[in-house]
């Protein structure tokens, strides 16, 4: 059996915590990692405070196989992720010569001044590997098992896709889902019995309501397809017996 590969995401930015910006990177990373057989186990959101970023980076990078950070690598004073990651690893940080020249030429070709703020995006912790950014050129970087991505969703996605070939794959978690027309309380006890019978299958229940009706979506996840199918059959039958009028619905892993 393949070893489980795990990951965490650290979202960095006051704008996320204030509600000004709605994060969409976590959903993308969760789905993309699952497709590679990597299980996203934890997500944290921290403010633009170096000590908090350093603490979170050091806690998460030793707990999981991979850590992905998003946000805080732009040109403004509060973009402190690169410095914070360097501090977490106790390494220096300086302008990467190739990135410096690339950005300088790009800015000047567009009639923009290659000022200190813009050129901050060329600073990379010592020993880090670059992660290409085909959209705005300023790269992300990887240092050991930590991947530092931009906060802008389109750029974060491009960076992740570019770096995904560096990741070790695990077993992909498959899922099946049942839509029931009964409340969670009606089927909860039976679900607990099925869960005990199939401990390798994760069974979750999620209430829904629409057009005056309510019910429960039952989602089953596992790496073992045979066990997943057997557990699905047991849950489906339980939903029938509970009067939930169950139907299979598309489920995302």
User: Any idea where the domains of the chain sit in the sequence?
Assistant: 5-166, 174-249
Tens digit of each residue's pLDDT (9 = 90 or more) over 224-247: 999 999 999 999 999 999 999 999
The reply to whether 174-249 shares the fold of 5-166 is: no
Is the pLDDT at 1 greater than 60, yes or no? no
Which residue has 């990887």 as its token pair? 142
pLDDT in tens, 103-129: 999 899 999 888 888 999 999 999 999
On whether the CB atoms of residues 217 and 150 are closer than 8 A, the answer is no
**CATH no. of 174-249:** 3.30.70.600
Spatial distance between the Cα atoms of 167 and 33, rounded to a whole number of angstroms: 9
CATH 3.10.180.10 fits 5-166, yes or no: no
What is the reported pTM?
A: 0.87
Structure tokens at 94: 């300086």
Q: Is there a contact between 221 and 200 (Cβ–Cβ < 8 Å)?
A: no
Q: pLDDT by residue (tens digit) across 155-188?
A: 999 999 999 999 999 999 999 999 999 999 999 9
Structure-token pair, residue 174: 């498959």
pLDDT (mean) for 49-62: 98
Specify the pLDDT at position 59: 98
Average pLDDT of the chain to the nearest whole number: 94
Joined together, the tokens standing for residue 103 give 């950005």
- What whole-number distance in Å separates Cα of residue 187 and Cα of residue 193? 10
What is the percent of the chain with per-residue pLDDT over 70, rounded to a whole number? 98
Cβ 217 vs Cβ 175: under 8 Å: no
Q: How confident is the model at residue 216 (pLDDT cuts 50, 70, 90)?
A: very high
pLDDT band at 253 (very low <50, low <70, confident <90, very high): very low
């Amino acid at each position: 059996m393949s070893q489980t590969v795990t990951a965490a995401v650290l979202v960095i930015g006051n704008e996320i915590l204030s509600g000004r910006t709605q994060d969409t990177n976590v959903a993308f990373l969760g789905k993309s990692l699952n497709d590679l057989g990597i299980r996203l186990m934890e997500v944290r959101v921290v403010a633009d405070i170096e000590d908090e970023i350093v603490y979170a980076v050091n806690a998460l990078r030793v707990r999981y196989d991979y850590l992905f950070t998003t946000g805080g690598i732009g040109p403004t004073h509060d973009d402190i992720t690169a410095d914070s990651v360097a501090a977490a690893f106790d390494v220096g940080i300086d302008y990467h010569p190739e990135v410096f020249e690339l950005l300088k030429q790009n800015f000047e070709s567009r009639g923009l001044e290659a000022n200190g703020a813009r050129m901050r995006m060329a600073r990379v912790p010592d020993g880090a590997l670059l992660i290409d950014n085909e959209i705005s050129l300023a790269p992300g970087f990887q240092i050991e098992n930590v991947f530092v991505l931009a906060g802008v969703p389109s750029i974060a996605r491009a960076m992740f896709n570019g770096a995904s070939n560096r990741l070790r794959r695990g077993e992909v978690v498959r899922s099946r889902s049942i839509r029931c027309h009964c409340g969670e309380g009606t089927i909860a006890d039976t679900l607990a019995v099925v869960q005990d019978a199939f401990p390798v299958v994760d069974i979750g229940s999620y209430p829904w309501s629409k057009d005056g009706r309510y019910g429960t979506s039952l989602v089953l996840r596992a790496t073992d397809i045979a066990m997943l199918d057997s557990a699905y059959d047991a849950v489906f039958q339980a939903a029938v017996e509970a009067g939930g009028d169950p139907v299979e619905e598309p489920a995302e892993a």
